[in-house]
Structure 1
Amino acid sequence: MLMSSLRSRRPLALVASLALAGAGLAACGDSKPGTAQSAGPFTVRALLAAQPATLDPIVGARSAQIVWATMLEPLINTDAGLKAVDTGLITSWTRTDATTWTFKVRPDISFSNGEKADAAAVANTLTLTRDTAASQLKSYFTNVADIAAPDATTVVVKTKTSQYNLADLLTTVYLVPPKYYQEKGSAGFAAAPIGTGPYVWAGSNAGRDMSVKKNPDYWGPKKAINDGITFTWANEAAQRLALIQSKSVDVSFDLPPAQATTAKKAGITVTSTETAIKIIAFLDSTKPPFDDPKLREAAALAIDRDAIVKGIFDGQAVADAGLLNVSPGQKPAQSVTADPAKAKELVGAAAPAVQIHYPAAQYTNIEEVSQAVGGALEKAGFKVTYVPIDYGTLVKRVVGRQVPGISIFAGVPNVAVPDFFASGFMKTKSITGNCPDPKIDDLAQKALEQTDAAAAAPMYEELNTIGVVEKHCYVPLYRQVFNYATAGGVKGLVFGPLNTVDFTQTTH
């Protein structure tokens, strides 16, 4: 889905506001500015690349789960191999027939406000996910016909047609309290989230920071051993590097290659993880100039993903020519190789105008990537203009079909199954809707109706070939290698390949 390491952004006077790293951060972490925290009460000071647009998991991009997942929990947990496991809020699932799934909900769990986190709450969250107009996961649940909670620990979901991956999808659905969510609405909930997780909301300073504190009543076995987390943000990578160097923060996320290298040379611990987050250029086949198949092919042939990875990331990203190969290490059966000469020949003397929309300051080196894509198109004969906008606005425009030309953003397979991209980006009624084709719709549906992922795999290969190689609606670029730095003595933080972070065992 969108994001994915989707980080939304609001312009901030961050040189000034993060100079308050002494006042704001020290107050939350019991330390003085410019010094590492000592033993005793410890609040983790986490620095993000941008302020989350919303902490409502129903409508929010999954980049913000780095914050909300400290308080809210997914319906089904995953293990290190990204497989669904029975350790979470839902403890078992059974496909009782081709179109019926029965889920058992862990008993005696409550939200931090006292509401019951029972089967009715699970059914309500699934209904919100399916029916809310702005739901980020709406397209994944269009096949769900009925959701019922016959008793406090049972949820029965009926689908219109057979769907093998329903349990996998619940690993990215976060449980919200029915009464509180209805009372507060999306904006109110986002202002003070309530969940069942190891932390609870502790407040925020508008435009500056937001904090969570340890939930003393957390039901799970993995309780937080620190006192909480304070999140701040800095759009500029240089600021994120400077703040970790000065020990004003305990962890600094999303360091580009240059800053990561500098941090390592300075003796700072830097962890690098190849993620499933994939940066993709989406070509809108419904509007000029890319309603012309020849110009879509030209654009796909003009863009050299290997040159982008080598020139911009110094190899610290992984070129990836596939759309539906969601797990790190997987490669598509067929792909498109850059051919600038053929691209120029296809464009001819027309000089078609194309806009490139991208989320400014959203992903590592996204400005340079967008310029590289635009430069390649210009060499092929396109006339390029750039539209850098904040991530939240870009999402609204993409969903509203208001982005002609190219939009560049991350696809994040919040669950490691190909349908997360097929339903999210390829179907006519998907998030992007940029490549409507009845053949794609039919094949994506047929894949879901298979008995399991292995049976569906050939169909996803065919979908990838249609969308990327034949129709050229998608130009996959690279997988992001995510770097984060931790201050001396900080340990226990776990970052996963799907943009998940476990802070509970983080200590100093």
Structure 2
Amino acid sequence: MMIMKSLRSRRFLALAAALTVASAGLTGCGGSDSDNSGASGNAPIRALLAAQPATLDPIVGARSAQIVWATMLEPLINTGSDLAPTDTGLVTSWTRTDATTWTFKVRPDISFSNGEKADAAAVANTITLTRDSAASQLKSYFGNVTAIEAPDATTVVVKTKTPQYDIPDLLTTVYLVPPKYYQEKGSEGFAAAPVGTGPYVWSGANAGRDISVKRNPDYWGTKATNEGVTFTWANEAAQRLALIQSKSVDVSFDLPPAQASAAKAAGVEVVSTETAMKIIAFLDSTKAPFDDPKLREAAALAIDRDAIVKGIFDGQAVADAGLLNVKPGQQPTQSVTADAAKAKELLGGASPTVQITYPAAQYTNIEEVSQAVGGSLEKAGFKVSYVPLDYGTLVKRIIGRQVPGISIFAGVPNVAVPDYFVSGFMKTKSITGNCPDPQIDTLAQQALEQNDAQQAAPIYEQLNTIGVVQKHCYVPLYRQVFNYATGPGVSGVVFGPLNTVDFTKTTR
């Protein structure tokens, strides 16, 4: 069963003090005290996260932080309820003028909150930064792009070396940044006070305690109903539960099953959503011990995803055996089934040492999950050590190829196409780079050169089989069921399966 962390009084009091400061600030802006008495419907929203965002720069930042930056910044292309691109955002149309050329039309007369023009030149600059910045999170996805041009204020032309059917899909997770401001401030400066075209603008932050945004009065679209959002964070789930129960916050995100059940029992409104986010164990095939294919297979057979879902999440997660089945409800045609006896047999009495690295407090029950994976490996004969890191440090080490053994973290297909994981995790030049293989690179390219997703689907099935079933570089574990709780009278929080949140209609 799940291991419950104890509530540490000092950390709770520190967080409560921070929330008191934030609450006082909200009251000054027309908000209310902790019991919500007298709160108007458009009062600022107090949102509690599980962890502090590592950065608010969308060029270099992991998409787990978009819950904050997406209040101020907008993706180039919006998505609909089916997760497919729509014409409702900054980019309003696109055409494939030939096999390697895409032409995009940009919504006219849009400005950033600092007055810069959000025109085609800004769009081209953002795509260029995404492709060329050394620390870009999406760099590997745009390696096939050879030219990005803005022939006029509302037109962007993107050329690729070889055909690539999913360029519009990729632009749904590229967030527009103002060229002059971003160049002047740099990544760290921009992250300290982001500027965008979104429904909110930067209001301020107390370092390590909270981040606030306020309604953008000049927003080009439908303006936010509330006056703003203040984000705070608490690493421990017990704290997040206590703060929503005490009405100190309006919405508390990422409640593990035990806390979600406790909240429901106490009469707190809890919303549960199966997400596209999946937790994956990545085995580094470039370093010992997993440069040995037999040891990778042993590890893959030792890990029992069904036991993790049942024992740690009490069934409130969805066991997921595939890497490239990116939408909720999908499963691969081939997968690996846990077989502890065979795993032990493959080790043949050897006791190889394995390091398990994971982002402490970043995901629901991630410590318990990492311990469960390690326990399975130890039963097979592996010797296991654990390295918990903060999320930002883990990402930097993975990109720097400094994480041997197993790293456990979430894959979030912010673009609901298989190539998002292929380019991010499978290709030789990818974020993880843990499974370099010329065959994978060739198939990945072939898939992108198809006319559409339907034609590419059989190739992605083949890639999934190679990476998960044959090479055992990836051990998919489960798809998360995300729980969040709302306080009395709070409504209008919109949580999407790609881990996006729309606060614009939220009231309390």
TM-score band w.r.t. shorter chain:
over 0.9
CA drift of 1:32 comes to 2.0
Q: Supply the distance in 2 between the matched residues of 1:507 and 1:178 (Cα, whole angstroms).
A: 34
1:504 maps onto 2:504 in alignment: yes
Which residue of structure 2 aligns with residue 349 of structure 1?
A: 349
User: Is residue 26 of structure 2 the alignment partner of residue 28 of structure 1?
Assistant: yes
Q: Which residue of the partner structure matches residue 115 of structure 1?
A: 116
What are the superposed Cα offsets for residues 252-277 of structure 1, whole Å, 9 maximum, x if unpaired?
00000000000001111100000000
- For the Cα contact (< 8 Å) 1:21–1:33, is it kept in 2? no
For 2:49, the equivalent position in structure 1 comes to 48
Query: Matched residues in 2 for 1:13 and 1:25: separation?
Result: 18
Deviation at 1:349, TM superposition (A): 1.6
Gaps of 5+ in 2: 1-9
CA contact (8 A) 1:36 1:487 kept: no
Report 1:218-229 matches (<5 A).
218-220=219-221, 222-229=222-229
Aligned equivalents of 1:475 and 1:256: distance in 2?
A: 22
* Partners of 2:337 and 2:245 in 1: CA distance: 41
State the distance in 1 between where 2:418 and 2:249 align.
37
Q: What is the identity percentage for the equivalent residue pairs of Structure 1 and Structure 2?
A: 81
1:18 Cα deviation from its structure 2 partner: 2.5
Per the alignment, in what secondary structure is the counterpart of residue 130 of structure 2?
A: helix
Q: Deviations over 1:295-337 (max 9, x none)?
A: 0000000000000000000000000000000000011010000
| Cα distance between partner residues in 1 of 2:54 and 2:435 | 27
Q: CA deviation at 1:38?
A: 1.6
How big is the shift at 1:379? Answer: 0.3
Does the residue aligned with 2:385 lie in a helix, a strand or coil? strand
Alpha-carbon distance, 1:35 to partner: 4.3
1:14 CA drift (Å): 5.1
TM-score when normalising by structure 2: 0.96
Once the two structures are TM-superposed, the CA of residue 33 in structure 1 deviates from its matched residue by 3.6
| Residue 482 (1) aligns with residue 486 (2) | no
Question: Residues 323 and 69 of structure 1: is their aligned pair in 2 closer, same or farther, counting only changes over 3 Å?
Answer: same
> Who is 2:7 aligned against?
none
- Contact kept? 2:48, 2:231, Cα under 8 Å: yes
Residue pair 1:36, 1:247 contacting (<8 A) in 2 also: no
Give the C-alpha shift of residue 31 in structure 1. 1.9
Instruction: Please identify, of 363-372 and 12-21, the stretch whose mean Cα deviation from structure 2 is larger.
Output: 12-21
Q: Distance in 1 between matches of 2:335 and 2:96?
A: 35
Distance 1:379 1:22, change over 3 A: same
Give the Cα separation in 1 of the matches to 2:480 and 2:351: 32
What is aligned with 2:92? Answer: 91
**Which position in structure 1 is the counterpart of 2:297?**
297
- Within 5 Å, which residues of 2 pair with 1:316-335? 316-335=316-335
- The answer to which of 447-456 and 33-42 deviates more is 33-42
Correspondence for 2:377 = 377
- Following TM superposition, by how much is the alpha carbon of 1:39 offset from its aligned partner in structure 2, in angstroms? 1.9
**Secondary structure, in 3 states, of the residue corresponding to 2:393?**
helix
In the alignment, what sits opposite 1:248? 248
Deviations 1:158-190 (A, max 9, x none): 000000000000000000000000000000000
Map of 1:396-435 to 2, 5 A cutoff?
396-435=396-435
2:41 and 2:226 in contact (8 A); partners too? no
Aligned residue number for residue 17 of structure 1: 15
Per the alignment, residue 310 of structure 1 pairs with: 310
**8 Å Cα contact 2:301/2:339 also seen in 1:** yes
Decide whether the 8 Å contact of 2:42 with 2:507 is kept in 1: no
Following superposition, the deviation at residue 476 of structure 1 comes to 0.1
Contact 1:22/1:32, CA 8 A, preserved across alignment: no
**What secondary structure is seen at the aligned counterpart in 1 of 2:92?**
strand
**SS of the counterpart of 2:126?**
helix
- 8 A contact 2:18–2:209 mirrored in 1: no
Q: Secondary structure at the match of 1:247?
A: coil
Q: Which amino acid aligns with 1:88?
A: G
Amino acid of the residue matched to residue 18 of structure 2? L
Q: 8 Å contact 1:282–1:475 — kept in the other structure? A: yes
SS in 1 for 2:361: coil
Aligned match of 1:142: 143
Q: Distance in 1 between matches of 2:157 and 2:321?
A: 39
Aligned-partner residue type, residue 19 of structure 1: A
Aligned pairs, number: 496
Deviation at 1:348, TM superposition (A): 1.6
Query: Is the counterpart of residue 124 in structure 1 residue 107 in structure 2?
Result: no
Partner of 1:194: 195
- Kindly report structure 1 stretches of 4+ aligned residues shifted beyond 6 Å: none
CA gap 1:250/1:296 in 2 versus in 1, 3 angstroms: same
Q: Which residue of 1 aligns with 2:5?
A: none
The whole-number CA distance in structure 1 between the counterparts of 2:338 and 2:465 is: 16
Which residue of 2 is the match for residue 9 of structure 1?
none
Contact 1:90 1:105 in 2 (8 A): yes
Cα distance between partner residues in 1 of 2:252 and 2:409 = 22
Deviates more, 1:209-218 or 1:31-40: 31-40
Query: What displacement does 1:13 show?
Result: 4.4
1:182-207 alpha-carbon deviations (Å, 9 max, x no partner): 00000000000000000000000111
What amino acid is the match of 1:105? Answer: V
Whole-angstrom CA distance in 2 between matches of 1:36 and 1:177:
40
Give the match for residue 160 of structure 1: 161
**Offset, 1:350:** 1.4
Provide the alpha-carbon RMSD of the alignment. Answer: 1.0
Q: After alignment, is 30-39 or 282-291 more displaced?
A: 30-39
